[in-house]
Amino acid sequence: MGRYILMRLAGVVGVLIAVSFITFMLMKAIPSGPFDMMGVQANKAIPDQLKRQLEAKYGLDQPVFMQYLLFVRNAVKLDFGYSFYYQGQTIAQIFQNQWPYSIQLGLLTMGFSILIGMGLGILAAMKQGTFFDYLGTAISLFCLAMPSFVLALLLQIVFAIKLGWVPTGGWDSPKQWILPVLANSLGPVLVLQRYTRASMVDVMRSNYVRTAKAKGLTEQRVTFIHIFKNALTPIVTVGGPMLAGLITGSFFVESIFRIPGIGQFWVTAIQNRDYPLIMATTLAWTAIISITYLITDLVYAVIDPRVTYVKEK
């Protein structure tokens, strides 16, 4: 197991190097630099002499490959420097201040999606061909067809503007969490409902389930001990990466509901050529998603004894 984990961690390092190189080169290929965008923001061109001084200060006057090597040297020490756009703030400070909003939104979304998505999936699997099965399918189709940003606007219009039940945005009170979580849950509810239903229906056809029922076990015990537990593997397969995707932020939801999360900051960084923030955020997301995949694989061995990562002799 230890060897397997070390090999996977080495793979994560390789992925981080590849992603950092590709992102850096693509970032540099975009026309205009950060100080050109500052001039656009101020509706005033920055003098060439001042621009050259700023580029020399941040090392942007060096060849691109040298700039990349300098970035890697600092990134190994987790030093991503200062943001070009958010003056006076280090990347670490931006992460510390903004990422908790995205994490909270992601965790609330995941909790709500598990409750609704997996609940509907279990109900649909146990009541196949009934109203509950059709209801789960209808909700899944709605989630599939409705874009999250469209639902976000509709929720604002109906519940915030027309009815006045909740605020239109912000993230300071539980009432402000309701609409963003609903809008952000479309994809997770769809995936969890369909995977839970399909996985449970497949397990219900197994011989050991029929044996458990023949032994006189209660419906609840058969469902949650024999069926649901053995149906968890496909659900964990999509649930782990899904959680990683949620806590890395959602630009559309964060922008529409004015949530100062990292997703909104990342898109702003791209628009303003904020190189340090672009690179740091991309690498952080890559690391989170890669490690989540590793944890997901390790969880397999916990929920399914047949899965092992120890090489047999």
Name beta bridge partners: 90.
82
Angle, CA 129 vertex, CA 124 and CA 131 arms, to 5° = 70
Q: How far apart are CA 20 and CA 22, in angstroms?
A: 6
pTM of the model: 0.82
Domain ranges of the chain: 100-274
pLDDT at site 310: 54
Cβ atoms of residues 219 and 206 within 8 Å: no
123 is written with which tokens? 């109900």
Name beta bridge partners: 209.
none
pLDDT at site 311: 58
The identity of residue 28, as a single letter, is K
Q: Which residues contact 68 (CB under 8 A, 6 or more apart)?
A: 20, 21, 24, 25
CA dist list (Å): 116 to 109, 136, 188, 196, 248: 11, 10, 10, 11, 22
pLDDT in tens, the chain (313 residues): 677 788 888 888 899 999 999 999 988 887 777 776 655 555 566 677 777 777 777 777 788 888 899 889 988 888 888 888 887 888 999 999 988 999 999 899 989 988 888 888 888 888 888 888 888 888 888 888 888 888 888 999 999 999 889 888 888 888 899 999 999 988 888 888 888 888 888 877 777 777 877 877 777 777 777 777 777 777 777 787 788 888 877 778 888 898 888 888 888 888 888 888 889 999 988 888 888 888 887 777 676 666 565 555 5
Comparing CA positions, the residue from 117, 165, 112 lying closest to residue 143 is 117
DSSP state of 169: S
Lookup result for tokens 């190994």: 76
pLDDT at site 27: 85
CATH (one of 2.60.40.10, 3.40.50.2300, 1.10.3720.10, 2.60.40.3500) for 100-274: 1.10.3720.10
- CA 253, 259, 263, 266 torsion: positive or negative? positive
DSSP state of 84: S
DSSP conformation letters of 23-49: HHHHHHHSSS-HHHHHHHHHTSPPPHH
The identity of residue 118, as a single letter, is M
Phi, psi of 82 (to 5 degrees): -100, 150
Comparing CA positions, the residue from 187, 275, 194, 288 lying closest to residue 241 is 288
